[in-house]
Amino acid sequence: MGKMRLFIVFAAIAVFSISCKEDATIDNPYDDQVPENADGEVTIDDKEINPISIQGLHKNIFKPTCANSGCHDGLFEPDFRTVESSFNSLVNQEPIKNDEVDLLPARVVPGDHARSMLIRRLEEDLNNNSGIMPLALEPGSDWEQKKAEYIQNIKDWIDAGALDSDSNSREVLDYPPQLEGMIVVKNGNIINRGGRYNPINVPKSHGSVDVWFAYKDAESAFSEFTNMRWNNSIHFMDYDSLAWRTMTYEATPMSAVGINQEQVDHHFKFTLNLSTYEAGDVIWLRTRVEDAENQIELPNDNSQYNTLKYCTIRLY
Ligand code: HEM
C-alpha cells in the first residue's frame, strides 16, 4: 500500500483524535437547568388564541370534540384533523345530508350562520333521524360545560366572514334560489291546503285560478330574477318541454304560510286554466327562475317527494 499512503492514513487518524478530544471548556447548557418536574411532561406555554378564529375553534372544539377516532378524523367530511382541513371542508362546501324542508346551501356560508349546516347539526336533530353533533363525547371533553359558549364562538366566526388562518375570507357564493311556498288564489281568497304537504283541493267549477310561488335567495333580489316560467302535468315526472310559459313578478306579494310553516311573501304568479282537466285530476306544477348566477327548476326531479306533492292541485 506504499509507505506514503500509510503515512497519510496514520496522520489523518492522529489529527482526528486530537481535534475530537472533548474540550473541557465547552459548557453543556442543560447542566445548569433545574428541571421543574424532571420526570413530568414538558408543558407548552399556550399562547392566547382568539376563540372566534378558525385556529381557536380547532383548538377548543374541532380537534378535541369532533376529530375523534372513527368520527371526523378524515373518515368522512367535514375533516376536523387540522385547521386547514377543517376550513376547507366547511366553507362553501355543500352538505352531504340536507334538511328535507329548509335546504341549506353549505356547511358554512360566510356571514350567515343561520344558513350554515354546521350550526344546524349542532343545534337540531336533522330530519329527526340524524342526532345532534357531537354524537359522542371523549372522556375529559369540556363540551357539555362550554357548549353554549362554543356554539356562539362558531356563530361569531361565521358571521364575521368565516376567515381562514391568515384572516382571508372566501368569496360569498351566489347560491341558487330555494322554494319557499305555493298558494292558489281565487277572487283574492287563498284556498286552504288540507295539510302541510297535501295537494290544494280546487273545484273544477272555478274555471281558472291564480297560482303564486315564493322563493328564498339571500344574494339576489326577487325583482332581479329573470326568465320566470311555469309548467304543469298530470303525469308525475313527465313534463312537455315545449309547454313552459311565462310567470310574472308581482311587486305587491301575497303573504301566506310557506312550506317551512313560516309567513312568506309570494311574488311570482301565473293563471292556470282548469277547463282542460277532469275532476279527480292531480296537476303537478314546476317553475323555473334565474338569478345573476343560477338557473334552477323548483321543484325538480331531485326534490323530496313531499316537496313535489306540495306543488300540486287536486281538482274535484
Ligand atoms: C362538535 C363536534 C362535531 C361537529 C361540529 C360535527 C359536525 C358535523 C356536520 C356539519 C355533519 C354533516 C356533514 C354533511 O352532511 O355534509 C356531521 C355529520 C356526521 N357526524 Fe359529526 N360533528 C361533530 C362530532 C361528531 C362525533 C364525535 C361523531 C362520532 C361519534 C360524529 C359523527 C358524524 C357522522 C357519522 C356524520 C354523518 C351522518 C349524518 O350526517 O348524520 N360527529 N357532523
Ligand 1 binding pocket mutation candidate from 100, 121, 149 (most atoms within 8 A of CB): 121
Q: Which atom of ligand 1 is nearest to the CA of 61?
A: 1
Question: 131 alpha carbon to ligand 1 midpoint, in Å?
Answer: 9
The per-residue pLDDT for 139 is 87
Q: What does the pLDDT read at residue 30?
A: 72
pLDDT at 24 over 70: no
Residue 164 alpha carbon to ligand 1 centre in Å: 21
Distance (Å) from CA 72 to ligand 1 centroid:
7
Q: Which domains does the chain have, with CATH numbers?
A: 44-159 (no CATH), 178-315 (2.60.40)
Q: Output the ligand 1 site: residues, CB below 6 A.
A: 61, 65-66, 68, 71-72, 77-78, 95-97, 107, 117-118, 121-122, 130, 133-136
Q: What share of the chain in percent tops pLDDT 90?
A: 66
Q: What is the pLDDT of residue 37?
A: 57
99 pLDDT higher than 70: yes
285: three-class secondary structure by DSSP? strand
- Contact between residue 289 and residue 298 where contact means Cβ atoms under 8 Å apart: yes
Rounded distance, CA 289 to CA 267, Å? 12
Determine the distance separating the centroid of ligand 1 and the alpha carbon of 204, expressed in angstroms: 49
Residue 284 near residue 233, CB atoms below 8 Å: yes
Q: Indicate if the pLDDT at residue 229 is higher than 80.
A: yes
Check residues 280 and 169 and name the one with the higher pLDDT: 280
Centroid of ligand 1 to alpha carbon of 63 (angstroms): 13
pLDDT for res 215: 95
Q: What single-letter DSSP state applies at residue 114?
A: G
pLDDT of residue 2: 75
Task: Indicate which atom in ligand 1 lies nearest the CA of residue 93.
Answer: 16
H/E element, 306: helix 305-310
Note the pLDDT of residue 271.
Answer: 97
Pairwise CA distance, residues 108 & 294, whole Å: 19
Q: In this structure, which residue's CA is closest to atom 41 in ligand 1?
A: 130
The 10s digit of each residue's pLDDT in 232-244 is 999 888 899 999 9
